[in-house]
Homo-oligomer: A and B are copies of this chain.
């Protein structure tokens, strides 16, 4: 095996170094940094490199620069360093299992809240998505934009912006994953089944029955996951029935 030599560019190195300085407390929160010229010379880089790094750290809420005043370590630098690491993971490293399981956790509750908080007009919106969905008789993409829209709008109607964003990111991520590609070629029968489940959900929302809506959404996502599991990827184990196996695994791995 030939070891891969990753040559990090200066600004990325600098970003890492500065984050470490803050994490280890050598640069305390709220600290006023020396000016750009001094900083650059103390790190032995040019001013532009210094600025490129600081620009990134500023965007992530770790540093904060004010014209004519100076640059400071942000008050919530530590929290945002973690957010940044979270972001790195979200960007590339989330497993399909984690993504699907998070949907299974979040979306039933969001259906619950959406049932309580959505307006009648908003429920009509969901119906119109479903109709445009049902009209497409051809076996098109199952995990297509309409299905995406339905789940995304429902998250929106739950009136929790944070959860809405989380779901949006997860759905985006899934679309570009293998799971998303597999879902494109699912058979017509499964597609119709899913549309039916969406219909049941809307019925529950119309009746303003949040508990029923939650239950339907849970079954819906769970069955969707199961279909994918059984037909395409046996490793994608999510079923609650086999969680005891996981438990054993965790014990033996110890």
Residues in B neighbouring A86, C-beta threshold 8 A: 165-166, 168-169
Among A37-45, A125-133, A155-163, A221-229, the stretch that binds chain B is A155-163
Question: In the complex, which residue of chain B has the Cβ closest to the Cβ of A240?
Answer: B116
Q: CB-defined interface of A187-216 with B at 8 Å, one 1/0 digit per residue?
A: 000000000000000000000100000000
- Of the listed residues A55, A116, A161, the one surrounded by the most CB atoms of chain B closer than 10 A to its CB is A55
Q: A98-B161, A116-B246 are in contact. List 19 more A-B contacts (CB 8 A).
A: A15-B59, A48-B51, A52-B55, A56-B56, A59-B60, A60-B91, A61-B91, A76-B172, A79-B175, A83-B91, A83-B172, A86-B168, A90-B162, A93-B161, A94-B161, A102-B160, A117-B246, A159-B246, A162-B170
A4 interface residue (CB < 8 Å to B): no
Give the contact-size bracket for chain A. Answer: 35 or more
B-side contacts of A117, CB under 8 Å: 243, 246-247, 250
A105 to B116 alpha-carbon distance, docked (Å): 15
Among residues of B, the one whose C-beta sits closest to the C-beta of A81 is: B172
Could you tell me which A residues sit within 8 Å of B by CB distance? 11, 15, 48, 51-52, 55-56, 59-61, 75-76, 78-80, 82-83, 85-87, 89-95, 98-99, 101-102, 105-106, 109-110, 113, 116-121, 159-163, 165-166, 168-170, 172-173, 175-176, 208, 243-244, 246-247, 250-251, 254
Contacting residues, chain B, for A120 (C-beta < 8 A): 251
Name the residue of chain B whose CB is nearest to the CB of A101. Answer: B160
The reply to whether B119 and A251 form a contact with Cβ atoms under 8 Å apart is: yes
Supply 14 A–B pairs (Cβ within 8 Å), ascending by A. A60-B91, A61-B92, A86-B168, A86-B169, A89-B165, A90-B165, A102-B160, A105-B106, A106-B106, A116-B243, A116-B244, A116-B246, A117-B246, A119-B254
